Amino acid sequence: MPGSLVVITARGMSMKSNPPETGFTSPSDPLPMASRKQWNSFYLLSALSTLVLSLTVGIQPLFLDEVLAISFEQSGSINAHLQVVTQVVSLAIVGYSGSITSRQRRVSLLFYGFMIASFGAVLAPLSKQVELLIGLEGLAFYYVMRILVSLGTDTVQLQLSTLSGDAVLLRRSSRLLVNTVFMMVFGGTLLYAIFMQIPETATRIEWVMFIPAIAALIGAQLAKTQLPGLMPPRKKREGGHRFERVWELVSSDPRMQLCFAAAFYTRADMIVIGLFFSLWSISMADVIGVTRDMAAARAGLLIGIMGLVVLLAMPLWKRFMATHSRIEAIGASLSLSGVGFLLLGQVTHPFSWTILGPLVLIGLGQGGCLVAPKILAAELSPRDILGSVQGMFHLVSGIGVVLLVQSGGYYFDAVGPRAPFIIIGSGHLFVMFYALWMVIRGQDETAGHVLKKTAHKIHLKTLIFMMALLPLLWLMGRVLVSGYTPGSSLGQMPVGFINRYLGDWAFNFLLISLALRPVYEVTGVKVLARFSRMIGLYAFFYACLHVLTYLWLEWVFKWPAIIKDFDEREFIILGLMAFVLLVVLAVTSSNHIIRTMGGKRWKMLHRSVYLINLLVMAHFIMAASHDNGEPYVYGMLVLALLGYRMRRRRASLRQGGSTASR
């Protein structure tokens, strides 16, 4: 029925309602009819944006292998690090700016995003020539160009998602959003599969890499000529800090929490498949007896088949959501894709046709994973903060890409090519059980997407606590699969990997803790301060495991050998100094100690966290491989966050001094 939403609860009762609470506009504020040509251009832009990014990511392993000659032993880590670095920089720029952009500015951002992506895509294939001409390392130049491609495509996709979300609210229809996601999948899988067949016959892979640049230029021209006037201006904005209101919306509604938890994984799915499946196929090419170009082409073909399944599944999930709740759709789709990823991790090699079964399951699940959370989040978002909600959605999914791809790269090199798929699959099932628990506890929907009165609110602190344990659960699961027990062989899990993995996560949580204050000061979400102590203690927890692994698993408490290692690798001393300071901060983190010491002295002591971050940064840079830019990106993040703290402190001191003089 036009103008109405059809929502079926878990009990199967059909209801129809127009929910005013969710930000839907009244019939007097309809979406002006744009031309069919404008909307077709909009959908084409969706396909082009994902084609640019997916083809760049998919061809990347082959380019690094054949042109930049990256060794196989480092291929997983370097490919993952490259994706992580580009995503971190993109998040820092796009995540905030995109969410504060007015509806009129979004169209212009589409043009500039495509132009930036085109510039990076044009120069990326020339990385080797740049190295030969001016002496700049080819991999470093490629890093910079990939950052530009990611920055441009992320800008475009955020604006497209937000514009289609606006249309959902204005027209009270999810059709435009579903069509947008459909075209993104079409560009990122089927078109990608077609173009990935070219390297098998092309004499130079660099020519294939220019295709994303051409697609981005076409997108820029379409955005400039076809989209102006597509969306009406907003007549009025509601008051209040938008980020704070987004936080209130997410923290008070478990369904929004489920949407964001699903977003954490689902955006990374296609990147993990495109990157690690291609890398796995290329790494097995010599074993099977085919060329690496043929291996990349076959990987692209299989990903295209999976994408076709995703497209065919979308109408089925749309029908499923017409007879079931959104939460059931999210849980069911996550279960299918999760099982598919786990089965993919059991296939012996990527050239076996048995791989089609897991890929079909992943495709069936992805059809719902990509649509259901977006529709529910858009329907629950008040209209005036939809851009901010989409910005936060983009931020959370980008963090998922960073953490999952980083872990996947380590696992790929240290454990095996199938390990990244097991990580993703286990995460999907984790969120699926969260959705199931919501339904069992009465969190399901009634008519108009309103929480039932009997629903139990889920504390966000509990969810964050559980998410922070996931890195340890992934590691424990892999160690158990490898059959490792203290004193026996490590099997497929080298102790060096375990040590590095735990140390990296200790550093990650230190950075998150350091970033919380700038985030809540910029966004106005003061409640984030409540999680600072918990995140800091998690940094200490992973640091303890890191040190214990070094002393126990690596050296079996052989103190003379440990002391000799200190002398040979000076960076260990820096790490030890940071750990001792962390112990002091952890011991003094209880409320009783704070009252005993007094707030002023306690704050002075806990400012040593700045020194800890500098020590860990130096420890990380000296210990890490310099074949990629990851250590320096981490270092820049630490310096930027510390610089922010110093600037705020100086401003506070100046303000205090001027107050005292008055």
Determine the pLDDT at residue 230: 63
Strand segments, DSSP code E, in 132-251 are none
Between 177 and 234, residue with greater pLDDT: 177
What is the C-alpha separation between 97 and 422, in angstroms, rounded? 34
Between 132 and 219, residue with greater pLDDT: 219
Q: Over pLDDT 90: what percentage of the chain? A: 14
What is the C-alpha separation between 589 and 581, in angstroms, rounded? 13
User: What are the tokens at 375?
Assistant: 């529709």
Is 16 within the bounds of a domain?
no
Looking at the fold, whether 500 and 596 belong to one and the same domain comes out as yes
Between 136 and 571, residue with greater pLDDT: 571
Q: Please say if the pLDDT value at position 625 is more than 80.
A: no
Determine the pLDDT at residue 231: 58
Q: Please say if the pLDDT value at position 311 is more than 70.
A: yes
The answer to which of 190-204, 354-368, 419-433, 556-570 has the lowest mean pLDDT is: 190-204
Is 80 within the bounds of a domain?
yes
Q: Please say if the pLDDT value at position 626 is more than 60.
A: no
CA distances from 592 to 11, 86, 597 (A): 49, 43, 9
Confidence of residue 167 (pLDDT cuts 50, 70, 90): low
Looking at the fold, whether 264 and 402 belong to one and the same domain comes out as yes
Looking at the fold, whether 420 and 363 belong to one and the same domain comes out as yes
Determine the pLDDT at residue 395: 75
Determine the pLDDT at residue 186: 85
Is 71 within the bounds of a domain?
yes
Confidence of residue 436 (pLDDT cuts 50, 70, 90): confident
Determine the pLDDT at residue 335: 94
Phi, psi (deg, nearest 5) at residue 627: -75, -10
Determine the pLDDT at residue 574: 92
Taking residue 657's Cβ as centre, other Cβ atoms within 10 Å add up to 10
Q: Please say if the pLDDT value at position 118 is more than 90.
A: yes
Instruction: Say whether 445 sits in a helix, a strand or coil.
Output: strand
Looking at the fold, whether 524 and 440 belong to one and the same domain comes out as no
Contact between 358 and 348 under an 8 Å Cβ cutoff? The reply is no
Q: Please say if the pLDDT value at position 227 is more than 60.
A: yes
Looking at the fold, whether 111 and 225 belong to one and the same domain comes out as yes
Domain count for the chain, please give it: 2
Is 546 within the bounds of a domain?
yes
Q: What is the pLDDT of residues 253-310, one digit of tens each?
A: 888 888 888 988 887 888 888 888 888 888 888 788 888 888 888 888 888 899 899 9
Mean pLDDT of the chain: 77
Looking at the fold, whether 476 and 352 belong to one and the same domain comes out as no
Cβ burial of 236 (10 Å; 0-12, 13-18, 19+) is exposed
Is 449 within the bounds of a domain?
no
Q: Please say if the pLDDT value at position 180 is more than 50.
A: yes
Determine the pLDDT at residue 485: 45
112: closest CA among 79, 142, 76, 155?
155
Q: Please say if the pLDDT value at position 604 is more than 50.
A: yes
Q: Which domain holds residue 198?
A: 35-232+242-444
The answer to which of 199-203, 510-514, 623-627 has the lowest mean pLDDT is: 199-203
Q: Average pLDDT of 467-482?
A: 75
Instruction: Say whether 511 sits in a helix, a strand or coil.
Output: helix
Looking at the fold, whether 265 and 324 belong to one and the same domain comes out as yes
Looking at the fold, whether 407 and 503 belong to one and the same domain comes out as no
Is 334 within the bounds of a domain?
yes
CATH number at residue 305: 1.20.1250.20
Determine the pLDDT at residue 97: 53
Confidence of residue 234 (pLDDT cuts 50, 70, 90): low
Looking at the fold, whether 485 and 437 belong to one and the same domain comes out as no
Looking at the fold, whether 624 and 555 belong to one and the same domain comes out as yes
The answer to which of 203-217, 511-525, 579-593 has the lowest mean pLDDT is: 511-525
Looking at the fold, whether 402 and 484 belong to one and the same domain comes out as no
Looking at the fold, whether 425 and 540 belong to one and the same domain comes out as no
Instruction: Say whether 594 sits in a helix, a strand or coil.
Output: helix
Q: Over pLDDT 70: what percentage of the chain? A: 77
